[in-house]
Amino acid sequence: MKGCDFTVRIGAAAGDGIQSAGEMIMKVMSRSGLYVSTYNGNQSLIRGGHVWFHIHASSRRVYSLGYGIDFLIPLTQLAYDQHYENVNESGAIIYDPSVVKVHDLSQKVKKYEVPLAQIALKYDKRPIMKNTVALGALTAVLGIDFNVLAKSISDQFGRKEPSVAENNIKAAKDGYDTVVAEGGSLVDYDYDYASAKPVLTADYAIALGAVNAGCRFYAAYPMSPASPIVHWMTAHAKKLGLTVFLGEDEISVVNATIGASYAGARAMCATSGGGFSLMQEAIGQAAMTETPLVVVDVMRAGPSTGLPTKTSQGDLNMMLGISHDDFPRAIIAPRNPEESYNVAERAFNIAERYQLPVIILLDFAIGDGGYATVENINTEFSIDRGKLLTSADPELLNGTWFKRFVLTDDYISPRTIPGTEGMMFVAKTDEHDEWGHDLSDVLAGLKEYLPIRERMHEKRMKKLELLAKEMRPPELIGPSVADISIITWGSSANPVREALERLWNEGVSVNSFEFSDLYPINKEEVRKMLASTGKMVMVEANYSGQFEKLLKRELGIDMAAHIRKYNGEPFYPIEIEKGVVGIRKEVHALA
């Protein structure tokens, strides 16, 4: 394939079908053999305002939104006014001159005037198909086989009346023919239609991965941007033998999940920041009863309601400080949909091996907000249920009770599923002894019980020491030694990775260390990896530098500088590039 790398942005008002149009463009690209990475510039409203969908497509693997806009489709004047300044000079704009007045646009940008509304009105009383007409025009500009778009339209409207797909295809063909009549394709790319590439959002990926990891109970209260997970789980529940519980709030959701796990099922729930706030006391319950638990938090910007459809990496501090007092937990932040799928295997295995809560941290940028190509999907998950007894162990019985919380050398007690013959036990949220019997009231503070409280508390906390040894160190991208080392985590790693290539071409000595396992930190391995770094620069999408402070606390590491973003939009590679170049100049000036 002749190499290509371009971006497309389509913008309009909420209610104009931009989400559907963007997804159809994405399908056209991926079915033409291209790698894609997308972002959904949503607003939290049903109709009006301004929304946009961005696609970065390439014949090589892409990770973020790329650089600028090569092909802009503004369906409203506001969409044009918001985005024209970012159109690259070699790019093009497809617009309806009866709706959009073009101004201040570089003469080097190719203009395609297409009567989008007029064509759309041929097939409906309202011009609602103008976005489809625009897709046809875009397909012609890119020189893509129209049949690929026609198939994508059929798939998009497959559940509606046949006439819906038929009319949309006709409208798209009119847009396609209009551009062809004006001279046709602007570019000369070869596409590989036989190598369609699958795409997923992290929300869908985590749902798919969880089921493959043995999850058979899922609970949720719908909350953006975590809602697609419950949509997927519900749609596939019957054929997968999955129980989906829609709770009245997140308190019931997490408690139902803990109950299902306690009863022996692999169980998971998901929410966003506000919902997670409600879950916290119950997560402490899971920690005290040592019940395995997997919770997904898809971060959005802001405390309280905040920006429900915008992105952030601002929930890390909340995950580190869940509920009250100390208890162990694992925090993993996948960097993309592919890793989100694969991490499900580890999340459930860790939860059951160590009998503790595991938090999977996603964010809107890769969750509900962005599709990306997935390639390395491992369908053969290994399921490790840890110390799960299925029959009575005489050494743990006293004739009536099973010693559920027995103290062991590795701090992990054998557990069993309630109802297992001869293995009755107590699982209280109060502090307890090895049998699970209550210490919290009349026995608390008595001198013979003080050591028991200490040992039970130590037993839970020391799991972290074992778990830390299997937590993964960051992935090194680039040379092992560089003048500047970018430290980043989760979805922010994606724009960093694309910025690196440009920085290398500019002669900047830089590499990056991408963290996905955030807590507990494998201190020994991380110290080894970071021992030879250059000036360290932290990149993360929050105001206060939450992961930067965690590394300082855990490892005593000081960053030379940081690049932070907290306006609700994801990082662009150009922001990383400019930030690193600026830091490099400062370093040289001080040298």
> Which contiguous run of DSSP H or E holds residue 242?
none
pLDDT in tens, 372-423: 999 988 899 999 999 999 988 888 998 889 999 999 999 999 999 999 988 9
- Asked whether the predicted pLDDT for residue 1 surpasses 60, the reply is no
Q: Which of 149, 144, 176, 132 is nearest to 4 (CA)?
A: 144
pLDDT of residue 177: 97
pLDDT value at residue 534: 87
Within 8 A by CB and 6+ apart from 291, the residues are 258, 261, 262, 285, 355, 427
* Mean pLDDT calculated for residue range 277-292: 97
pLDDT at 522: 97
Angstrom distance (rounded) from CA 461 to CA 363: 28
pLDDT digit string, tens, across residues 501-538: 999 999 999 999 999 999 999 999 999 999 988 899 99
Residue 46 pLDDT exceeds 90: no
Residue 26 CA to residue 39 CA, distance in Å, equals 11
Q: Is the pLDDT of residue 134 over 70?
A: yes
Q: Which residues of 371-384 are buried (b: 16+ CB within 10 A; e: fewer)?
A: bbbbeeeeeebeee
pLDDT digits (tens, 9 = 90+) for 204-215: 999 999 999 999
The pLDDT tens digits of the residues spanning 74-123 come to 999 999 999 999 999 999 999 999 999 999 999 999 999 999 999 999 99
Of the candidates 313, 367, 314, the residue with the CA atom closest to the CA atom of residue 492: 313
- Residue 591 — pLDDT band, cuts 50, 70, 90? low
**pLDDT, position 590:** 63
Q: How confident is the model at residue 331 (pLDDT cuts 50, 70, 90)?
A: very high
User: For 459-571, where are the E strands, in sequence order?
Assistant: 475-477, 484-489, 510-515, 517-519, 535-540, 561-564
Instruction: Supply the pLDDT for residue 410.
Output: 95
pLDDT digits (tens, 9 = 90+) for 237-284: 999 999 999 999 999 999 999 999 999 999 999 999 999 999 999 999
State how far the Cα of 404 lies from the Cα of 99, in Å rounded to an integer. 70
**8 Å CB contact between 488 and 545:** no
Long-range contacts of 446-455 (CB under 8 A, 24+ apart): 455/407
Q: Report whether 415 contacts 388 (CB < 8 A).
A: yes
Q: Which DSSP state fits 124? A: S
Map 285-318 to HEC letters: HHHHHCCCEEEEEEECECCCCCECCCCCCCCHHH
Please report the pLDDT score of residue 2 as a whole number: 59
The reported pLDDT for the residue numbered 220 is 97
Alpha carbons 376 and 339: distance in angstroms, whole number: 9
In angstroms, the CA 135 to CA 372 distance is 20
> How would DSSP label each residue in 166-189?
HHHHHHHHHHHHHHHHTT--SS--
pLDDT in tens, 424-447: 999 989 999 999 999 988 888 899
pLDDT value for 273:
95
For 395, the enclosing helix (H) or strand (E) is: none
- Asked if pLDDT for residue 348 goes beyond 90, the answer is yes
CB atoms within 10 A of CB 293: 30
